[in-house]
């Protein structure tokens, strides 16, 4: 007797794609926020309007650029110095991002912004990539 395969239940919107699935999750989270609020409809609307929203800051973007520069330079260094054939495609196409980020950082510096050193998460991720490339080249490409 052949055993039947059981397929997992799809999440709402999953069959239509990632956008619909994300929309469902966002609406669910918004609904929880509203249901947690107590009071009349006007009080709920005012509490949603007064809630803190995340606003990006230039300092955060500069930190992101610095960390990205370190990671891309690490990746390019790994690709250039390795003799593994897994990196051949990347040698031909180059990542190109490591060449552009310093120009962006230089522009911010000219505008008077202080360019920090790479943060701990950026440095640890770059170290992790180097370690992974030393163990297995295909794994570092994932």
Domain positions in the chain: 14-50, 58-141
User: Does the global pTM surpass 0.85?
Assistant: no
Specify the pLDDT at position 82. Answer: 79
* Nearest CA among 86, 84, 65, 63 for reference residue 142: 86
Rank 4-18, 42-56, 87-101 by mean pLDDT and report only the highest: 87-101
Instruction: Give residue for tokens 């650029």.
Output: 65
Position 35 scores a pLDDT of 56
Residue 95 CB contacts under 8 Å (≥ 6 apart), including other chains: 72, 75, 76, 79
Q: Tens of pLDDT along 53-97?
A: 778 888 999 999 999 999 988 888 888 887 877 777 777 776 667
pLDDT for 89 equals: 73
């Amino acid at each position: 007797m052949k055993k039947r395969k059981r397929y997992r239940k799809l999440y709402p919107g999953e069959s239509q794609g990632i956008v619909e699935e994300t929309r469902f999750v966002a609406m669910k989270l918004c609904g929880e926020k509203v249901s947690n609020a107590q009071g009349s409809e006007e009080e709920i609307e005012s509490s949603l309007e007064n809630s803190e929203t995340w606003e990006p800051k230039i300092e955060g973007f500069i930190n992101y650029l610095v960390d990205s520069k370190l990671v891309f330079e690490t990746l390019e260094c790994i690709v250039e110095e390795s003799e593994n054939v897994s990196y051949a495609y990347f040698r031909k196409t180059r990542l190109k991002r490591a060449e552009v980020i310093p120009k962006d950082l230089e522009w911010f510096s000219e505008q008077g912004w202080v360019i920090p050193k790479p943060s701990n998460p950026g440095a640890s991720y770059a170290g992790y990539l180097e370690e992974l490339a030393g163990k297995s080249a295909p794994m570092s490409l994932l």
